[in-house]
């Protein structure tokens, strides 16, 4: 059975704050943001932008693929999140900074008993992040790493006052990452990539939702797609929850966990 999906047009005429709040309402976390609702595990949402032909970057960064609508979705999703989780390579490549409070979402966050801005969780197994990377020493940033991360780097980071949290022995175990988020009260997790981190979350079956912006461009080249993990061959069912378009030809889809699972981990 086919359905003609009628997309909702995001009108660009309204003022920015109400447009952002309207957008946030299209991307609700579940009322009990845990997965499944009976367990304390957080609800993990990922957000990516991709070209029509599946490229996650152009010239090594995602910025060229974005547009005003995509940036508004990015901002609205941060406005709803308890923590932004990101792989070390993305954080450094994209020049990530600590998320700051967004006045548009102050009231919403107060009502939801959230901190003024989401925390930042950086994943790194090797602690390859440059020591002068600004968010490292921010009290609202944590580095999720593993016990066998290089000792000299661990010491250097500890001396700098970086908050290191071990999530495994040899690797950063995504399941332990989820548990650490729950322990810290981060139930609304927003993973902003990149593809390696997202791939490991898919493999561990921790992805509850994908917010995917399709940028109206063809890129070719050798860019990655939004997820990869060479070690596994899983297939997780998802279903569409929201489809939006904008005046610039971008398509915004929200996908949530579907039913049957074809899990063929090698
Ligand atoms: N289009 C988009 O929406 C979008 C979004 C995000 C990123 N990007 C692009 O994607 C590129 C970076 O992506 P990437 O795939 O190379 O790297 P990534 O996923 O951002 O980061 C991978 C790094 O995360 C660390 N890590 C620790 N534990 C991990 C785990 N359990 N699973 C996976 N990674 C773990 C490792 O750091 P260590 O090496 O320090 O151990 C690993 O090298 C950049 O070019 C960025 O611009 C695009």
Tens-level pLDDT at each residue, the chain (266 residues): 787 766 566 554 568 999 999 999 999 999 888 877 777 899 999 999 999 999 999 999 999 999 999 999 999 999 999 999 999 999 999 999 999 999 999 999 999 999 999 999 999 999 999 999 999 999 999 999 999 999 999 999 999 999 999 999 999 999 999 999 999 999 999 999 999 999 999 999 999 999 999 999 999 999 999 999 998 889 999 999 999 999 999 999 999 999 755 544 33
Q: How far is the CA of 3 from the centre of ligand 1 (A)?
A: 36
pTM of the model: 0.94
Which pair of structure tokens corresponds to residue 16? 């920015």
Closest CA to 62 of 224, 230, 245, 229: 224
Query: Given the CA of residue 49, which atom of ligand 1 is nearest to it?
Result: 3
User: Domain-by-domain residue ranges, the chain?
Assistant: 12-257
Ligand 1: residue of 67, 123, 176, 203 to mutate (most ligand atoms within 8 A of CB) is 123
Whether the CA torsion 201, 205, 209, 211 is positive or negative: it is positive
The answer, yes or no, to whether any atom of ligand 1 lies below 6 A from the CB of 126, is yes
Greatest CA span in the chain, whole angstroms? 61
Q: How far is the CA of 178 from the centre of ligand 1 (A)?
A: 17
CATH code assigned to 12-257: 3.40.430.10
Measured between alpha carbons, how far is 177 from 163 in angstroms, rounded to an integer? 14
Query: Given the CA of residue 149, which atom of ligand 1 is nearest to it?
Result: 41
pLDDT at 8: 60
Closest CA to 189 of 59, 40, 12, 20: 40
Closest CA to 87 of 243, 256, 237, 226: 226
pLDDT at 11: 59
């Amino acid at each position: 059975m086919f359905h003609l999906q009628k997309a909702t047009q995001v009108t660009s005429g309204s003022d920015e704050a109400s447009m952002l709040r309207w957008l946030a309402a299209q991307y609700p976390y579940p009322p009990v943001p845990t997965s499944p609702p009976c367990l304390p595990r957080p609800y993990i949402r990922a957000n990516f932008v991709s070209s029509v032909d599946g490229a996650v970057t152009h010239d090594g960064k995602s910025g060229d693929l974005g547009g005003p609508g995509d940036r508004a979705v990015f901002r609205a999703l941060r406005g709803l999140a308890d923590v932004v989780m990101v792989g070390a390579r993305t954080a450094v490549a994209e020049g990530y900074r600590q998320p700051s409070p967004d006045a548009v979402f102050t009231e919403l966050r107060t009502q939801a008993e959230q901190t003024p801005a989401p925390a930042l969780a950086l994943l790194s197994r090797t602690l390859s992040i440059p020591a002068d990377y600004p968010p490292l020493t921010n009290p609202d940033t944590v580095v999720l790493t593993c016990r066998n991360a290089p000792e000299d780097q661990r010491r250097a980071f500890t001396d700098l006052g970086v908050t290191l949290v071990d999530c495994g022995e040899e690797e950063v175990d995504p399941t332990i990452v989820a548990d650490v988020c729950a322990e810290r009260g981060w139930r609304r997790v927003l993973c902003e990539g990149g593809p390696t981190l997202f791939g490991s979350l898919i493999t561990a079956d921790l992805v509850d939702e994908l917010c995917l912006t399709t940028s109206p461009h063809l890129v070719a080249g050798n860019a990655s797609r939004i997820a990869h993990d060479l070690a596994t061959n899983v297939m997780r069912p998802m279903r569409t929850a929201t489809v939006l378009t904008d005046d610039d030809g971008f398509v915004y889809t929200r996908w949530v966990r579907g039913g049957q699972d074809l899990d063929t981990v090698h």
